[in-house]
Amino acid sequence: MALDEATTLFLATMAESGTKPIEEMTPHEARALGKVLRDMYGPGPAVASTADHHISTPDGGRIGVRVLAVEASRGTIVYYHGGGWVMGTLDEFDTLCRHLATRTGCTVVMVDYRLAPEHRYPTAVEDAWAAFRWVADQRFGDGPLIIAGDSAGGNLAAVTAQRAKTEGGPQIALQVLVYPVTDCDLNNSSYADPANQLMVSRASMIWYWGHYSDPNDRTNPDASPLRATDLSGLPPAVVVTAEHDPLLDEGEAYAQKLRAAGVAVESRRFNGQMHGFFTMVNILPGHQDGLDYVVEHIERVVAAG
């Protein structure tokens, strides 16, 4: 089906503003675009408390995490933001994560992993793991531990789930992967579909990968989690994809490979939506449908304890 009306209008407005394609921007220019979108989201709902912390990484670095706490927390969600490993700040995803916290009754911990090209692969992978271990050690309540992320953040969530299996824990109750980057193949059918050259295009993904990693590293499972040989024993997954998204095929392929390995998977393709719809609070109505779907499945896990 075609893009929904709200998305079509949004894209027209962006085109009229004269915004350059991502692949024609410097990383600094691309990051400024994120601030524009943040201002459009508006503030999120109040939570019981908000606290920013800094944690040390094995390489001697320091990264930020933001804890959005709720009263009588029923679980903990570690959230990795999107942005092609190049863009994204805690403030830009604060509104989304506040909605996630209040809707699920879970404490949400947002991870400010270091960005490329200043910090190339595998820095983001190591930061994601360090933050996950820190959250597990903090024990924000007794409920289940869930990891989630969108786009490049979905990549980091998937990679973290694989590493937790390899390392023997901490135990993850659910992984929520929203249109995740799972492979470095830029020539599959959804990349070639001209209808999918919208918010994210093949050219922009080449730009993101180029800033993030060297070509020889991209087939490593902690860069392209679809390339892992054994997905058995991973936590249950919720996989969200968008019909008009170059990442559609690889997201659905990852869901299928998880199922084939015996992992419980719930997945849904959101028709009429483009890459990025899930995070566009107060901009695209499709965001609400995506959030409802994710909250429904988190609720099942939380209710089961």
Domain coordinates of the chain in residue numbers?
5-304
| CB of 101 closer than 8 Å to CB of 143 | no
Strand, coil or helix: 110: strand
The predicted pLDDT at position 194 comes to 82
Considering the chain, what is the average pLDDT of its residues? 95
Choosing from 151, 201, 204, 267, which is the catalytic residue? Answer: 151
Tens of pLDDT, residues 30-78: 999 888 888 889 999 999 999 999 999 999 999 999 999 999 999 999 9
Tens of pLDDT, residues 128-166: 999 999 999 998 888 999 999 999 999 999 999 999 999
Strand, coil or helix: 29: helix
Choosing from 99, 275, 287, 297, which is the catalytic residue? Answer: 275
The predicted pLDDT at position 262 comes to 98
Strand, coil or helix: 204: helix
Question: 275 an active-site residue?
Answer: yes
Quote the DSSP letter at residue 131: H
Q: Per-residue pLDDT averaged across 103-120, rounded? A: 98
Dihedral angle computed from the Cα positions of residues 151, 155, 160 and 162, in that order, rounded to the nearest 10 degrees: 140
Amino acid residing at 66 = R
- 238: nearest Cα among 269, 273, 267: 267
pTM over 0.85: yes
Question: 201 an active-site residue?
Answer: no
Q: How far apart are CA 3 and CA 104, in angstroms?
A: 29
229 — pLDDT class (breaks 50, 70, 90): very high
The predicted pLDDT at position 199 comes to 81
The first and second tokens of residue 153, run together, are: 């953040």
| CB of 200 closer than 8 Å to CB of 211 | no
Tens of pLDDT, residues 3-31: 999 999 988 888 888 888 899 999 999 99
Q: How far is CA 203 from CA 45, 207, 246, in A?
A: 36, 6, 10
Q: How far is CA 63 from CA 93, 111, 152, 236, in A?
A: 16, 8, 17, 28
5-304 has CATH 3.40.50.2300 classification = no
CB atoms under 10 Å from CB of 230, counted, come to 11
Choosing from 150, 183, 245, 249, which is the catalytic residue? Answer: 245
Question: 151 an active-site residue?
Answer: yes
Q: What share of the chain is helix, strand, coil (3-state, %, to 5)?
A: 45, 20, 35
Element (H, E) at 149: strand 145-150
- 136: nearest Cα among 176, 101, 169: 169
